[in-house]
Amino acid sequence: MTATGRDAIKVDHDDLGVTTISINRPDRMNALDHPTVTALTELIIEHGSDPGTRVIVLSGEGGAFTTGADLQAIKDAGADAPSPDATMAGAAALVRAVLTAPVPVIAAVTGPAAGVGVSLALASDLVLMSEDAYLLFAFTNIGLMPDGGASVLLPAAVGRSIASRMLLRGDAVSAAEAHDVGLAMEVHPTADLEPAAAKLARRLARGPRRALELTKRAVTGATLAELDAALAREHEGQCELLISPDFAEGVSSILEKRRPNFS
């Protein structure tokens, strides 16, 4: 039985105030069902507001960051699957939790970060990747549009032209390319990623908490002024697409390991 909700998340806290929140659904490559998205959001908010936490590190167990939405869970749930409104509200709340956390958030990405997993990484303040990691902008590959703020987070980081290429083509962006275009701060051998993330986190944890909080708020405000409008566009568009035949075909093609036949 695949863990879900808080049972699917590991939390560790060290002596300097570094809280590591790790998605632990390795049998699903850390794909996120709705209860796990909700739990992850709650934990980021809880620990971010805890005076004992000075830095949050996001990671995934078992060699994957997260492959985004749990498509198998969606298919298995059938008519009982979360509504498009609930799905989109969950993705937006998760990204807002990262962006508004009063402490720096570091994403330590191993293996794939796909779909809303990409949004989770992009919303983080600093991204470290292992050499085998990649960012998969898989939205259009399954008949969807970017969500979780990806339609504004990615252009804010790399500009409109590169963002359009990655999002329209559904690109898989290697760690090396992510570093080259500024999406990743550092790239490390897989075995060295966790120590590198811990070193960076502990450096930040020793810094002035309030100054780091206000710096993060200023940078976010300066670069993501259109966040609310972007999330509203994503909500409207994705709610349409989530009930479309193309999305049903996209999910089936992934689960059946074949090329999709879109309209």
Report, at the CATH architecture level, how domain 5-191+209-255 is classified: Alpha-Beta Complex (3.90)
Question: Cα torsion for 181, 185, 188, 193, to the nearest 10°?
Answer: -140
Domain locations in the chain? 5-191+209-255
Nearest to 95 by CA among 45, 150, 154, 148: 148
Are the C-beta atoms of residues 127 and 218 closer than 8 Å to each other?
no
Task: Note whether 39 and 91 are within 8 A (CB).
Answer: no
* Predicted local confidence at residue 108, as pLDDT: 99
How far apart CA 140 and CA 146 sit, in angstroms, is 8
| pLDDT in 10s for each residue of the chain, 263 residues | 789 999 999 999 999 999 999 999 999 999 999 999 999 999 999 999 999 999 999 999 999 999 999 988 888 888 888 999 999 999 999 999 999 999 999 999 999 999 999 999 999 999 999 999 999 999 999 999 999 999 999 999 999 999 999 999 999 999 999 999 999 999 999 999 999 999 999 999 999 999 999 999 999 999 999 999 999 999 999 999 999 999 999 989 998 999 999 99
Q: Which two tokens stand for residue 43?
A: 């934990």
